Amino acid sequence: MKIEYYHASKFGNGAKVADEFRKIMEGKGVAVNVHHIRDSKPKDLPPANLYIFSSPGRIGKPIGSMRHFLKKVKLPSGSSYAILTTEGAPQPDKKTGKMPTPEELARWQRVRPIMNEILQSKGLKNVAEDKVYVTGMKGPLEEDWQKKVQSFADQILRIG
């Protein structure tokens, strides 16, 4: 299995997640090439069994550079992809102290749904997705984030 992983890390959190994923998969004998989207041409991606796209969330959406990259991606219809994002951790309401419900989170955190809309409109097939929370504006990543990356890698290995 060959995996091409494209991330749009701004403060280094997405790069950490990508590197951890690469190490886990290489330990299982799976080749993973990690690329920052600023160093990649979306119309000229190399052949792979799976493409992974990762974006930080900004105001509930993937950052603009990732949205533009995905809109320009040229891959054969039916190609498999997965999404692993870095999103802001849910915070309690400042007035009530209550944590947002899953429905409220789904309404405001649309990073993965937006990425899926773009990629599925090109005929690509989603095989896995997950998120790693960032606890502050620039980090750090949530406690035990490596376990989430391991779980995501296990999902990929099951489909591979």
For residue 126, what pLDDT band results from cuts at 50, 70 and 90? very high
Q: pLDDT at position 8, please?
A: 96
Q: How far is CA 5 from CA 77, 84, 105, in A?
A: 18, 10, 26
pLDDT over 90 at 2, yes or no: yes
pLDDT digits (tens, 9 = 90+) for 65-106: 999 999 999 999 999 999 999 999 998 999 999 999 989 888
pLDDT over 80 at 49, yes or no: yes
Q: pLDDT at position 112, please?
A: 96
CB atoms within 10 A of CB 117: 11
Q: What domains are defined for the chain?
A: 2-159 (3.40.50.360)
Q: What average pLDDT score do residues 20-31 get?
A: 97
